[in-house]
């Protein structure tokens, strides 16, 4: 009643074949049309090329859909006023039979309902800067503490307080595995200066760690931090200066809560003349390649 699983996705899950979940906020709130639809379909294509079945997740007329059709993705990209849905919003959007775009947290919830173990996104939410005063912490982090889905990302979004985000994840026992890196990537750039405990050198190593975690009944997700490819990365100094400026704008305009991230990403895009959007797209493609390979290994 609340969940509709695409027949291709359902068949793959029943036959222990690799499936990779994808979010829909990136389509409705992350990019302009038609670039959003084009990117979403390309990500699905990359996942297929690397041996897995893509399952883009969204809420359509109050039903959680695991595996949207290309037509539904197109509609998602065009439709105005789709709600951005996190855990707290989910029961309301579903009961009111509305359309909703799933954040990292909600995509994890629906993926877990459907039995999908690997999820690919751009960057996770986290502890916002000045959270000591505002208490603004993304629901993504609590979801990672409780829901058994592995999330492949380019670290947390660079607009956040990365040291505090890492600290929070450690407190709640969420492993952060660096793919071929000992440093937490910071979304648009490769470096953050923050050391990770674990560097993993292959998709198999990552799949083994995920499997061990859940077989030991250690509840909660795993973060696979996959740095953006060097040729698409932005220089830390450059992007940090832009982010500082965007944060000042947000403060001046009284932007807070769930509006903060879309506002900051749009401001950064504008201030970098679209360069940040290109980086964003490339890092998602890069995560899709790795996510599919991890899903393939996990199913073995």
49 belongs to the catalytic site = no
11 is an active site residue = no
- In the chain, the DSSP E strands lie at 3-5, 19-22, 53-60, 63-66, 83-85, 100-102, 118-120, 150-153, 176-179, 198-200, 222-225
Per-residue tokens: 138: 């993304």
Q: What are phi and psi of 258, to 5 degrees?
A: -70, -10
Count other Cβ atoms within 10 Å, centred on residue 242: 23
List phi, psi (to 5°) of 181.
-150, 150
The per-residue pLDDT for 133 is 84
What structural domains does the chain harbor? 3-299 (3.40.1790.10)
pLDDT at 110: 98
Low-confidence ranges of the chain (pLDDT < 50): none
CA-based radius of gyration for the chain? 18
Q: What is the pLDDT of residues 170-225, one digit of tens each?
A: 999 999 999 999 999 999 999 999 999 999 999 999 999 999 999 999 999 999 99
φ/ψ (deg, to 5) at 264:
-65, -40
Q: Alpha-carbon distance 221 to 203, whole Å?
A: 16
The single residue of 10, 84, 117, 157 carrying the catalytic annotation is 157
Its pTM stands at 0.94
Burial level of 212, CB count in 10 A (0-12/13-18/19+)? exposed
Q: How many residues does this entry show for the chain?
A: 300
What pLDDT score was predicted for residue 6?
98
What pLDDT score was predicted for residue 257?
72
Q: Which of 10, 23, 143, 293 is catalytic?
A: 23
- Return the pLDDT at 267: 86
Residue pLDDT, tens place only, 282-299: 999 999 999 999 999 999
DSSP-derived secondary structure letter, 67: S
Predicted pLDDT at 244: 85
């Amino acid at each position: 009643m609340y969940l509709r699983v695409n027949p291709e996705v359902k068949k793959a899950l029943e036959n222990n074949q690799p499936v990779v979940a994808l979010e829909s906020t990136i389509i409705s709130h992350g990019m302009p049309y038609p670039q959003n639809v084009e990117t979403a379909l390309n990500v699905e294509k990359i996942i297929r090329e690397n041996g897995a079945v893509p399952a883009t997740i969204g809420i359509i007329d109050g039903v959680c859909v695991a595996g949207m059709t290309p037509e539904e993705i197109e509609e998602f990209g065009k439709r105005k006023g789709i709600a951005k849905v996190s855990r707290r919003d989910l029961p309301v959007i579903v009961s009111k039979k509305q359309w909703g775009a799933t954040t990292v947290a909600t995509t994890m919830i629906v993926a877990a309902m459907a039995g999908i173990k690997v999820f690919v996104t751009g960057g996770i939410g986290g502890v916002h800067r000045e959270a000591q005063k505002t208490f603004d912490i993304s629901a993504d982090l609590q979801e990672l503490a409780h829901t058994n889905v592995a999330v492949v990302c380019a670290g947390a979004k660079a607009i956040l307080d990365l040291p505090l985000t890492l600290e929070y994840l450690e407190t709640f026992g969420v492993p952060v595995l660096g793919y071929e890196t000992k440093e937490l990537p910071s979304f648009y750039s490769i470096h953050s200066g923050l050391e990770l405990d674990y560097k993993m050198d292959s998709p198999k190593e990552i799949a083994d760690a995920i499997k061990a975690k859940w077989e030991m009944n250690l509840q909660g997700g795993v973060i696979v931090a996959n740095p953006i490819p060097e040729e698409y990365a932005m220089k830390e100094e450059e992007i940090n200066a832009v982010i500082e400026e965007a944060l000042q704008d947000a403060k001046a305009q009284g932007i807070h809560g769930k509006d903060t991230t879309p506002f900051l990403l749009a401001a950064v895009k504008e201030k970098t003349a679209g360069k940040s959007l290109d980086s964003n797209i490339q890092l998602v493609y890069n995560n899709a390649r790795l996510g599919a390979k991890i899903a393939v290994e996990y199913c073995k």
